[in-house]
A and B are shown apart, each in its own frame.
Chain A
């Protein structure tokens, strides 16, 4: 298992550590599916082309069929429109997935409260003190 801290840079970019890339078996051009849980856990998993007739493929097709049922898809009315879509997905860096395809717990998004730097400092100090006193660290949940 790999764990790492990464820093968000300009234009919302992050660099995945080489070890993580290696463990995931991904390469440049591969897609990653990002899911954020209600408790702000970010899950990132490879969204690679799956092999037909595997549980992964069946799950993907099941989700796609659900999207059809919920009318969650992109529709094209002409070959030209479809062609523009193919160019778009070939050059895309982000593909927005239908919200209904997210786990149910994500459907209700909590509002995120911004806290001041003073409040943040205070919270960090409390957490540090707790650790120094050999108590369990305090975890703050965004409100």
Chain B
């Protein structure tokens, strides 16, 4: 199976860059978590992710503190080969849980 990861420049890259800067001392922790998320999603493990946006079928997974990564996964056949394509769409702040 072919595995691809894509990011959206406005929804993901900008906010992720901001977060990496804002929480600079925890940059390695955030990067490690992102790699973990990447590995899980490309491997098809959606455990621990929740439905985020009903109309769009987006899901989200915890990143760090109250921040979440919103993503979508598509599986399609390309040239006879099955492809799993993970799109990281946004980094958002979850509302405070009480």
List the interface of chain A (C-beta within 8 A of B): 29-31, 33, 47-53, 57-58, 60-65, 67-68, 73-77, 79, 82-83, 85-86, 89-90, 92, 95-98, 101
Contact = CB atoms under 8 A, between A and B. Distances in A.
A50 B18 CA distance: 12
Given A64-B90, A83-B35, A49 B6 contact: no
Interface residues of B, number: 42
Interface of B: 4-22, 27, 31, 34-35, 38-39, 52-53, 56, 58, 60, 67-68, 70, 72, 87, 89-95
26 contacts: A29-B22, A47-B15, A50-B90, A52-B70, A60-B90, A61-B53, A64-B11, A64-B70, A65-B72, A68-B87, A73-B7, A74-B6, A77-B4, A79-B35, A79-B38, A79-B39, A86-B31, A89-B14, A89-B16, A89-B17, A95-B9, A95-B13, A96-B9, A97-B10, A98-B10, A101-B10
A140 B7 CA distance: 41
Contact of A52 (B5, B7, B13, B94): B94
A73 B89 CA distance: 10
A28 B92 CA distance: 19
B91 A49 contact: yes
Nearest to B85: A75
Nearest to A51: B93
Contacts of A49: 15, 18-19, 67, 91-93
Contacts of A47: 10, 14-15
B2 to A, nearest CB: 9
A95 B5 contact: no
B35 A82 contact: yes
Nearest to B71: A64
B31 A52 contact: no
